[in-house]
Amino acid sequence: PPDVEQLGRSTWTLLHSIAATYPPTPTPKEQADLKSFMHLFSKLYPCWVCAEDFQAYLRKQEVRTRSRDEFGNWLCEAHNEVNRKLGKPTFDCSKWEERWRTGWKD
Ligand code: FAD
């Protein structure tokens, strides 16, 4: 099986990049596609314990897709849930766009 840490870093990069390029005002079709993607992703993610916990999280915290801002923050919170589980520091979600879309200013 793939290295869980390397897989995780690459996958968070993909997911946060999807959030960064998601439209500020998505169409109903774009919202439905993102929801489908996240649900299928949670079933196919090739770290089975990770996938089970992520599916449970999706059942508790339904994915929010009404805007880039909403999805970006939802994803940041989901990532923080995994950070907490692993004993990693949590990330300040007011900075997700700076980290993943516009770039740090310094
Ligand atoms: P990562 O957590 O991979 O983060 C990469 C970068 O993202 C960080 O350097 C930081 O700049 C930024 N970042 C950090 N937090 C946030 C945030 N909240 N919002 C936005 N940006 C942020 N590993 C396990 O061992 N067990 C699991 O159950 C598990 N479940 C996972 C579930 C999913 C859906 C995914 C994608 C990964 C999962 N992982 C799991 C992997 C784990 O989350 C990490 O990716 C891995 O441990 C490597 O961590 P890292 O410290 O390199 O940083």
User: What is the predicted pLDDT for the residue at 85?
Assistant: 97
Ligand 1 touching residue 16 (CB < 6 A)? yes
Q: Tell me the CA–centroid distance for residue 12 and ligand 1, in Å.
A: 6
Other CB atoms within 10 A of residue 34 CB = 19
Nearest CA to ligand 1 atom 46: 5
User: What 8-state DSSP symbol labels residue 88?
Assistant: P
Complex-level ipTM: 0.99
Question: Is pLDDT of 10 > 60?
Answer: yes
pLDDT digits (tens, 9 = 90+) for 28-68: 999 999 999 999 999 999 999 999 999 999 999 999 999 99
Amino acid, res. 18: I
Other CB atoms within 10 A of residue 90 CB = 13
Domain of 40 in residue numbering reads as 4-102
**Tokens matching residue 3:** 């290295």
* CATH number for 84: 1.20.120.310
CA-CA distance, 5 to 29, in Å (whole number)? Answer: 33
With cut-offs at 50, 70 and 90, classify the pLDDT of residue 105. Answer: low
pTM: 0.96
Candidate from 14, 54, 79 with most ligand 1 atoms within 8 A of CB, to mutate: 79
If one counts the domains in the chain, the total is: 1
Ligand 1 touching residue 20 (CB < 6 A)? no
Amino acid, res. 38: M
